[in-house]
Amino acid sequence: MHPNMLLYVENDYGALSKKAANLFADRIREKPAGVYGFATGSTPLGMYRELIKIHNADFLDFSKAVTFNLDEYFPIKRADNQSYYHFMNENLFNHINVTRGNVHIPDGEASDAESECRMYEIKIQQAGGIDCQILGVGANGHIGFNEPGESFGADTRVINLTEMSIQSNSRFFNSPADVPRQAITMGVRTIMMSRSILLICSGKAKAAIFRDALCGPITPLVPASVLQLHPDVCIVADKEAASLLP
């Protein structure tokens, strides 16, 4: 494993969630007005629950934090209960004292998606760049919606969802026909520009891709393998996810 990667292996998902939340809370305490990148998906749910607990018990203050989410379906209404906008409100933002004007999620309702992507990059830069980006990893190694084969040089952009992603996401929608065909995602380059990364990975189903990402060749075929080139990556995994590491 690359020396710039710090790995914590926790017993189970509960312990992983606590560890990741504590590490992230330390970042917020060190830099309350910092810029923080959030992810959706099932992996960070436990971490977000723990962050809410820390906010309530120790008054972890989010009021000065600026946030940017990795991605959003396109097109999708914010009010749609499958939107990542809805996900972030339900699972985190409604329960902490984040300042609404400081929250950024790619706009699934934008009339001009290309300009929304350009503006998103500009807003990240104007905020001073991301201090710490939370990341999950897909079973195929994707980060954000950057699927295998996408360029490491990509900025925030509109992508076509692969048939596999549409099928896999259809479990959350009424039918596959309801799944949006596109998404807006930070590019690999955008993610790599973050000053630090907090990667979380859980479960047996991720063990092989987790090993490939951390210890395999650095290749766009495994988008998460690019993190081996990042100077400051902290990883929290559970034993199952880490079970195939050398």
Q: Is 142 in the site for ligand F6R (CB under 6 A)?
A: yes
Q: N- to C-terminal Cα distance for the chain?
A: 9
Q: Is 39 in the site for ligand F6R (CB under 6 A)?
A: yes
The distance of closest approach from Cβ of residue 42 to ligand F6R in the complex, given in angstroms and rounded to an integer, is 4
Residue in 10, 142, 150, 238 annotated catalytic = 142
Cα torsion angle, 184, 188, 192, 197, sign: positive
Least spacing, CB of residue 203 vs ligand F6R, in Å: 8
40 is a contact residue toward ligand F6R (CB under 6 A)? yes
Is residue 19 at the binding interface for ligand F6R, with CB under 6 A as the rule?
no
Three-class secondary structure of residue 190 per DSSP: helix
Report 54-113 residues binding ligand F6R (CB under 6 A): 70-71
CA nearest neighbour of 199 among 244, 140, 145, 134? 134
Instruction: Identify which of residues 61 and 193 has a Cβ nearer to ligand F6R in the complex.
Output: 193
DSSP letter string, 194-212? SS-EEEEE-SGGGHHHHHH
Under DSSP, the state recorded for 102 is G
Please, which residue, 55 or 142, has the CB nearer to ligand F6R? 142
Say which residues have a Cβ less than 8 Å from residue 42's Cβ, sequence separation at least 6: none
User: Rule CB under 6 A: which of 188-207 touch ligand F6R?
Assistant: none
Q: Which stretch binds ligand F6R (CB under 6 A): 25-33, 58-66, 140-148, 235-243?
A: 140-148
* Distance separating alpha carbons of residues 196 and 185, to the nearest angstrom: 18
Q: Which of 10, 71, 116, 240 is catalytic?
A: 71
Tell me the window of 26-34, 38-46, 114-122, 174-182 that interacts with ligand F6R (CB under 6 A): 38-46
Element (H, E) at 8: strand 5-10
Active site residue 112: no
Task: Check 147, 150, 212, 240 and give the catalytic one.
Answer: 147
Q: Which helix (H) or strand (E) holds 122?
A: helix 113-126
Is the separation of the CB atoms in 242 and 14 below 8 Å? no
Stretch that binds ligand F6R, among 9-17, 20-28, 141-149, 153-161 (CB under 6 A): 141-149
Q: Is 2 a catalytic residue?
A: no
What strands, in cross-sheet order, belong to the sheet with 182-185? Answer: 71-74, 182-185, 157-160
User: Sign of dihedral through CA atoms 215, 216, 218, 223?
Assistant: negative
Between 144 and 187, whose beta carbon lies closer to ligand F6R? Answer: 144
Q: How many residues bind ligand F6R (CB under 6 A)?
A: 13
Residues that bind ligand F6R in the complex, under the rule CB under 6 A: 39-43, 70-71, 136-138, 142-144
